[in-house]
Structure 1
Amino acid sequence: MSDKRMPAFFLADDMGLDFLNSIATPVDTPIDWLDTGEGLLGWLEQAELVPLDVLTSFRKDAVPGELDAVAAQARALREWFREFVQAHKGKPLRGKAIDELAVLNQVLARDEEFGQVVVTKVKGESKTSGLEWRLQRRWRSPDSLLLPVARAMANLVCTADFTYVKKCESPTCSLMFVDRTNRRARRWCSMATCGNRAKQAAHRARVQNDD
């Protein structure tokens, strides 16, 4: 991976929301990890959504501007999905939402998956044959890089309880997550960043009040 920026965020407990979090403001300056074709490849590599040999092949063989065009598609898809998630978060998602998902289904319709019997990737002895059925994908063109992202988005829509899709409570943070904690009490994208800042701010406020 040749991208020299800080690593992308993967803290949403759901890859579909991690995709939305591919643009963020960690400190003061916004970072868009999908701003270029190389940025998109770097994010997909970090997300482990696309095999490394496929990314290497597209880096080598794509014509000038082709990957940048796919990155532009990815950004447009991301912002469309952000509007959908923001409109529905905090309440159960109902079947009538299908009318709003035509864009996602159009991307998913491009997919070319097929099954293969492959060697199981496990260490040590196995009581099974050591073989397993695994889905593969034909990566015919750079825009196929959007397919695993679309699959992650579809997985969020079909399996997550949108009641617990939340935005970080920090007013300066845009990151989103699925609250999978036992008490559904998660408030921050990360306790190490926004959670800690909130604690420090609350402490300063208490000190000022005491004075």
Structure 2
Amino acid sequence: MTNTTRPAPFFVSDHMALDFLSTRTAPWGKEIEWLSRGTDLLDWLEAAEAISGDQKKALSTQFSTAELEAACNSARSLREWFRGFISSYAGNELTEFDMAELQPINQILAQGSQYSQVSFAGEGSHVQLTPFIHWRSHADLLLPVANAIADLVCNQNFKYIKNCEGPTCNLFYLDETKNHTRRWCTMSVCGNRAKAAAFRARKKRSS
């Protein structure tokens, strides 16, 4: 990644759109920003498998530093708008009356240049319709994220989008467990913290 002082970005939400929110979070109490500069956006898109390494290299050459910075600024604005949207609607099914709130996404989708191709998904797989993007403007760098948000809105049940129960955690995730009983962004962080806190509380009560 561009900034080696940061940990690798988090992909624990089971959906790219929600993982995008995790590019600004405070997992250990101190806020970390993964989208500080233009190249960070390309790094994150590659880590999210939204673009390939070859595409990242080509895009970093195609667009100037100023254009990449502008795209990253727009990505941060999109992220914070989406954070507000998710905070308002997570846990509830969307209705037709909520659609006006999605105008920022429709604007990005309307301005972009995308197309689809029939392709083979790979050995032992099947024929599928694969979307592609014409990278004509630095603004098109928001399209993979906008597509992911559109997929979340159109194809997932907002009832199962949850905020981690960790008291200091602001990560959202899509609960795809069988009985929809997931409580933590990840057991290795917030889940273990909760278990340790519960153990200390029991020990204190028994002493």
Please list, as runs of the form range in 1=range in 2, the aligned pairs for 1:163-182 lying within 5 A after superposition: 163-182=159-178
Separation in 1, partners of 2:117, 2:183: 42
Separation in 2, partners of 1:24, 1:2: 18
Equivalent pair of 1:3/1:42 in contact (CA under 8 Å):
no
Structure-2 change in CA distance of 1:132 and 1:67 (3 Å): same
Aligned residues: 206
> Shift of residue 26 of structure 1?
2.1
Partner of 1:6: 7
Partner of 1:54: 55
Asked if 1:208 corresponds to 2:196, the answer is: no
Separation in 1, partners of 2:37, 2:80: 16
Please list, as runs of the form range in 1=range in 2, the aligned pairs for 1:127-146 lying within 5 A after superposition: 133-146=129-142
Secondary structure of residue in 1 paired with 2:132: strand
Asked if 1:87 corresponds to 2:83, the answer is: no
Alignment root-mean-square deviation, CA: 1.8
Partner of 2:186: 190
Q: Which whole-Å deviations, capped at 9, do the CAs of 1:55-112 have from their partners, x for residues lacking one? A: 1122223223221111110010011111111111111111111111111100011221
Give % identity: 43
The TM-score, its normalising length taken from structure 1, stands at: 0.90
Partner of 1:26: 27
Which stretches in structure 1 are left out of the alignment for 5+ residues? none
Secondary structure of residue in 2 paired with 1:177: strand
Q: Which whole-Å deviations, capped at 9, do the CAs of 1:146-192 have from their partners, x for residues lacking one? A: 00100000111111111111100011101000111111111100011
Look at both structures and tell me which one has the larger radius of gyration over its CA atoms.
Answer: 1
Structure-2 change in CA distance of 1:93 and 1:203 (3 Å): same
Give the letter aligned to residue 56 of structure 1: K
Partner of 2:195: 199
Separation in 2, partners of 1:95, 1:148: 24
Partner of 2:38: 37
Which stretches in structure 2 are left out of the alignment for 5+ residues? none
Equivalent pair of 2:17/2:152 in contact (CA under 8 Å):
yes
The TM-score, its normalising length taken from structure 2, stands at: 0.92
Give the letter aligned to residue 40 of structure 2: G
Partner of 1:161: 157
Structure-2 change in CA distance of 1:132 and 1:153 (3 Å): closer
Secondary structure of residue in 1 paired with 2:111: coil
Please list, as runs of the form range in 1=range in 2, the aligned pairs for 1:103-118 lying within 5 A after superposition: 103-118=104-119
Separation in 2, partners of 1:72, 1:207: 48
Equivalent pair of 2:91/2:159 in contact (CA under 8 Å):
yes
> Shift of residue 133 of structure 1?
4.8
Separation in 1, partners of 2:128, 2:80: 37
